[in-house]
Amino acid sequence: MPEVVGVGASPKRKEDLRFVTGHGNYVADIKRPNMSFGVFLRSPHAHALIRSIDTSEALEQPGVKAVFTGEDMKADNVGGLPVGWGISGKDGNPMKEPPHPPIALGKVRYVGDAVAFVVAETVEQAEAAAELIEVDYETLPHVVGAVEALQPGAPQIYDEVPGNLCCDWDLGDCAAVDAAFETATHVTSIDLVNQRLVGNPMEPRAAIGEYDAANGQHTLWTTSQFPHVVRLLMGEMVLGIPQHKLRVVAPDVGGGFGVKQFHYAEEAVVTWAATKLGGAVKWVCQRSEGFISDAHGRDHVTQAELALDTDGKFLAMRVRTYANMGGYLSTFGPNIPTNLYAPLLSGVYVIPSIYCEVKVVFTNTVPVDAYRGAGRPEATFVVERLVDTAALEMGIDKFEIRKRNMIPTESYPYQTPVLVEYDSGDPLGCLERSMELADVAGFAERRSASEANGKYRGLGVSTYVEACGLAPSRLAGQLGARGGLYESANVRVHPSGAVTVLIGTHNHGQGHETTFAQIVSERLGVPFENIDIVFGDTDKVQFGMGTYGSRSLVVGGSALNKASDKIILKGRKIAAHQFEAALEDVIFEKGEFSVSGTDKKKSFPEIAGAAYVPFDFPLETLEPGLEEQAFYDPVNFTYPGGAHICEVEIDPDTGVVRLDRYTAVDDVGTIINPMIVEGQLQGGIVQGVGQALFEHGVYDEQSGQLLSGSFMDYCMPRADNFPDFTIKPHSTTCTHTPMGVKGCGECGTIGSPAAVINAVVDALRPLGVSHVDMPASPNRIWNIINNSGARAAAE
């Protein structure tokens, strides 16, 4: 019997049947008629002039259809890749925004920069031909670090960007912070590196361009989190294809994490190449190629200071960050270390004044952009390492200092000194619950047991606040956004009462087909199995901004809720006509229209049927049919938050940090599907722990090469690195989203790095260690232990 499955239930996911049977439809799986294959020749140099490119031999190879260079695209008036968010510096001037050609023009700026695109009948033919392209490079000095790139005499990456400084940005009241530091009894200062990460969704990127000359129609299949935005950016700004002649399809996508929320050069190149050659052109990224062409994440160098009074109360915070942008600006690159970073520096604390300056810098590395959390994990790491270090220096318990400075629940809504106003939250409740669940009281005993075994044990805590569903459009526009930040949903009720939802978000693991169906099932009383969610195709879905920044439920779900309201209102109008009752007397509850105080009832399918067979229908005042659309533009961000507690055990013989216990208590607002929320947190925590313990995109300063450029060298978190986690919700209701939801996709990644590093530092505190940079790899930890002198003394 088909049933309503509503808010709070955890049904089996609708999307899983196709995935467990091997019937997912990913871009690499797609074959098109008359399809050829393309490969990119990429720069082996970090920084070089291109003197000439000789493609003649490659063009003579069997099966080769074309070899394209940047000059070919330029000659065809192809534009540069646009930046979706422009920022302005302290001086009010806009950031430096040099052109970003899809294939390099005259110069390469990082190892991996595309130099040519070869199209052939098979991949093997294209690969063989690519090796025969002769590129005459004149290598130039390069620089890979943001701090180094600002030094006088550093190699100049762009003639038009003096000193490689894209933007010198700030936020906050510098004078107030300076004054507060004057009055402080204690100042804690730390230097941090938030290392470069490679997002590595398990599905490598892929793109297929196709051109139907008879209809003038272009199609792009791409591994994207936001097909409509790709259509807009690529169509309007890069290739000059009118929106109605370009279809962008992002079918099943194997993980995104931000890596797939940018408009990439390869998308434009395959679409353009297909137009030149006819038929379809397919490119599938190799993993090693992805390491040097997917946008990277993080890569901050930060100096931070916290001023405290005698009681350990926070007075002010001062932060200076150097943010590495890589060789070009990626779609949202400059926005991440600025607008998504500094406004989160208040954390869950009362800090009367905060000043943050960020130097946004070009280097000869892969472009850096959003990666799960995007600015917010970096901010949380700064805040929570500062707080922990201050506690240690002032001799205050790490939990006590946090409690003493937390925003009291009754102070919400809370205006921070850095733009944002938190609508709701209960940080103290989260912290206290996490302390119980983590058995903090029993830690001393566990530490003694570890010590008896010759191991170091540490306990670390991190609180966090996150900002989801970037909004509202008007404010974002003032901050430099070049597009809206709303979402759209269309609810199409069929004559049978079954529902198809067309929504502008994109599902690539988050379970939208299930969660969104639960919302409709709850609101309209339609059985869960009678609801399908359609996404990822610009020819089907009206419009959408896609999925990033934990926005899908918060913004997309709210649009869906709003469209459902419209369906209910129209249904009530139809029912009122049939009941010969006043509209205000018709109520809709549990899938049934009725008139209060009477036995008149109509089921949702009956009213849906009447909408399409309008014999007994108010045709004079109402159109037939039952389909409604809503666009929802949020009034504010949402602010999930929480407290994470981590316990590690370190083996001094190997330097291995073993994660022994992990407890997370998170305030994600109303929970639609508890199973999916917990899954998001589990995965997010592992990604954050991956940053804390394993992952590092390492550039060699001498050669400019990415040293950790494969899964052999870049340490991905694996199943045997983790225990089971304890994850519990502690929700307050968002005051401004229609369902009280806050979002949960990035919470785990935001809360965990500081919790883990605080635990590692706590474990090594007996050795006099006060800071450990990420990742706390065996090599790094073994060296710390063995260079501390403590070990030699003990033996």
Partner 1 sequence: MTITFTLNDRSVTVDVEPSTLVSELLRDTLELTGTHVGCDTSQCGACVIHLNGESVKSCTLLAGSVDGQELRTVEGLAGGTDDLHPMQVAFRDNHGLQCGFCTPGMLMSSIDLVNRNPDPTEEEVREWLEGNICRCTGYQNIVKSVIAGAQALRDASRGDDHA
CB 219 within 8 A of CB 247: yes
Give the shortest CB-506-to-partner 1 separation in angstroms.
11
What is the closest distance, in whole angstroms, from the C-beta atom of residue 468 to partner 1 in the complex? 18
Told to check if 580 binds partner 1 by CB under 8 A, we report: no
Using the Cα atoms of residue 449, residue 451, residue 452 and residue 453 in order, give the sign of their dihedral: positive
Structure tokens at 248: 């962008």
Stretch that binds partner 1, among 18-26, 146-154, 528-536, 538-546 (CB under 8 A): 18-26
Region for residue 92 given its phi and psi (left: phi exceeds 0; alpha: psi -120 to 50; beta: otherwise): left
Q: 117 has which bridge partners? A: 40, 68
Q: Which of 15, 305, 384, 522 binds partner 1 (CB under 8 A)?
A: 15
Nearer residue to partner 1 within complex by CB, 174 or 675: 675
| Phi, then psi, of 133 in degrees rounded to 5 | -75, 130
The region of 128-136, 178-186, 516-524, 706-714 touching partner 1 under the rule CB under 8 A is: 706-714
Contact 114, 107 (CB under 8 A): no
Q: Which two tokens stand for residue 189?
A: 């200062």
Contacting residues for 485 by C-beta, under 8 A, at least 6 apart: 469, 470, 471, 472, 473, 476, 545, 551, 555, 633, 634
Q: How far, in Å, CA of 613 to CA of 566, rounded? A: 20
**Residue 477 to residues 356, 551, 730, Cα–Cα distance (Å):** 21, 17, 33
- The packing angle between helices 747-764 and 376-394, to 10°, is 30
Between 480 and 709, name the residue whose CB sits nearer to partner 1: 709
User: How far is residue 682 from each of residues 201, 371, 646, 679, 712, measured CA to CA in Å?
Assistant: 16, 17, 14, 5, 24
Q: Binders of partner 1 among 96-135, rule CB under 8 A? A: 124
- Looking only at the bridges linking them, the beta strands covering 353-362 and 314-326 are parallel
Q: Which of residues 31-70 bind partner 1 (CB under 8 A)?
A: 31
Residue from the set 287, 320, 494, 566 that interacts with partner 1 by CB under 8 A: 287
In the complex with partner 1, the residue whose CB is nearer, 217 or 708, is 708
* CB of 543 or CB of 548, closer to partner 1: 548
CB 27 → partner 1: shortest distance, Å? 11
CA-CA distance, 512 to 503, in Å (whole number)? 10
Residue count of the chain:
795
Q: Is 483 in the site for partner 1 (CB under 8 A)?
A: no
Which of 264, 322, 725, 782 lies at the binding interface for partner 1 (CB under 8 A)?
A: 725
Q: Which stretch binds partner 1 (CB under 8 A): 293-301, 376-384, 387-395, 507-515?
A: 507-515
203 is a contact residue toward partner 1 (CB under 8 A): yes
Residues that bind partner 1 (rule: CB under 8 A) add up to a total of 55
Q: How many CA atoms lie within 13 A of 767 on its CB side?
A: 28
Nearer to partner 1, 26 or 158 (CB): 26
Among the listed ranges 97-105, 240-248, 554-562, 677-685, the one in contact with partner 1 (CB under 8 A) is 677-685
Give the binding range for partner 1 (CB under 8 A) out of 7-15, 45-53, 360-368, 520-528.
Answer: 7-15
For residue 410, state whether it binds partner 1 (rule: CB under 8 A): no
Under the criterion CB under 8 A, does residue 510 sit at the interface with partner 1? Answer: yes
Strand partners, 648: 458, 659
The least distance separating partner 1 from the CB of residue 71, rounded to whole angstroms, comes to: 30
DSSP 8-state class, residue 143: -
Residue 17 near partner 1 by CB under 8 A: yes
Q: DSSP character for 462?
A: E
- Which residue type sits at 7? V
Q: How far is the CB of 709 from partner 1 (least distance, A)?
A: 10
Closest CB to partner 1 among residues 15, 426:
15
Stretch that binds partner 1, among 89-97, 102-110, 638-646, 710-718 (CB under 8 A): 710-718
CA distances from 377 to 54, 194, 238, 561 (A): 45, 9, 32, 30
Smallest separation, CB 201 to partner 1 (Å): 6
Indicate which single residue of 429, 511, 536, 642 sits in contact with partner 1 (rule: CB under 8 A).
511
Give the interface segment with partner 1, choosing from 194-202, 303-311, 440-448, 479-487 (CB under 8 A): 194-202
Residue pointed to by tokens 């722990």: 689
User: According to CB under 8 A, which residues from 737 to 766 bind partner 1?
Assistant: 748
Q: Please report how close the Cβ of residue 546 comes to partner 1 at its closest, in angstroms.
A: 15
- Asked if residue 567 binds partner 1 (CB under 8 A), the reply is no
3-state helix, strand and coil shares in percent for the chain, rounded to the nearest 5: 35, 25, 40
Q: Which of 410, 580, 724, 795 binds partner 1 (CB under 8 A)?
A: 724
CA atoms within 13 A on the CB side of 524: 40
Binding flags for partner 1, 204-243, as an x/- string (CB under 8 A): x---------------------------------------
Find the binder of partner 1 among 425, 684, 729, 751 (CB under 8 A).
684
Nearest distance, CB of residue 12 and partner 1, angstroms = 5
HEC per residue, 407-444 = CCHHHCCEECCCCCEECCCCHHHHHHHHHHHCCHHHHH
Close Cβ partners of 556 (under 8 Å, ≥ 6 residues apart): 487, 489, 503, 504, 505, 512, 516, 544, 547, 632
Among the listed residues 87, 676, 754, 756, the single contact to partner 1 using CB under 8 A: 676
Q: Is residue 711 at the binding interface for partner 1, with CB under 8 A as the rule? A: yes
Q: Should residue 337 be labelled a site residue for partner 1 when binding is judged by CB under 8 A?
A: no
Tell me the backbone φ, ψ of residue 126, rounded to 5 degrees: -65, -40
Q: Which of 61, 88, 156, 286 binds partner 1 (CB under 8 A)?
A: 286
Beta bridge partners of 603: 592
Query: Of 367 and 717, which CB lies nearer to partner 1 in the complex structure?
Result: 717
Give whichever of 29 and 76 is closer to partner 1, judged by the CB atom: 29
**Nearest residue to 368 via CA among 322, 435, 430:** 322
**Residue of 29, 60, 311, 397 interacting with partner 1 (CB under 8 A):** 29
Asked if 775 is part of the footprint of partner 1 (rule: CB under 8 A), the reply reads: no
For residue 366, how far is the Cα from the chain centroid?
Answer: 18
Helix (H), strand (E) at residue 73:
helix 70-75
CA atoms of 572 and 382, how far apart (whole Å): 53
Q: Which is nearer to partner 1, 12 or 482 (CB)?
A: 12
> Interface with partner 1 includes 437 (CB under 8 A)?
no
Judged by CB under 8 A, does residue 253 bind partner 1?
yes
Please identify which residue in 2, 8, 19, 454 interacts with partner 1, judged by CB under 8 A: 19
Contact 638, 743 (CB under 8 A): yes
28 vs 174, which CB is nearer to partner 1? 28
Answer for which of 1, 202, 582, 792 binds partner 1 (CB under 8 A) is 202
Does position 718 bind partner 1 by CB under 8 A?
A: yes
Establish if 158 lies at the interface with partner 1 (CB under 8 A). Answer: no
d(CA 206, CA 311): 56
Contact stretch for partner 1 (CB under 8 A) within 66-74, 469-477, 520-528, 678-686: 678-686
Give, for 488, the enclosing helix (H) or strand (E): strand 487-493
CB of 746 to partner 1, least distance (A): 13
How far CA 589 is from CA of 242, 418, 706, in Å, comes to: 45, 44, 59
Least separation in angstroms between CB 369 and partner 1: 17
Which secondary-structure segment (H or E) carries 195? strand 186-197
Confirm if 624 and 634 have CB atoms less than 8 A apart.
Answer: no
State the residues that interact with partner 1 by CB under 8 A: 12-13, 15-24, 26, 28-29, 31, 124, 200-204, 252-255, 257, 286-288, 508-511, 675-676, 678-679, 682-687, 710-712, 716, 718-720, 722, 724-725, 748
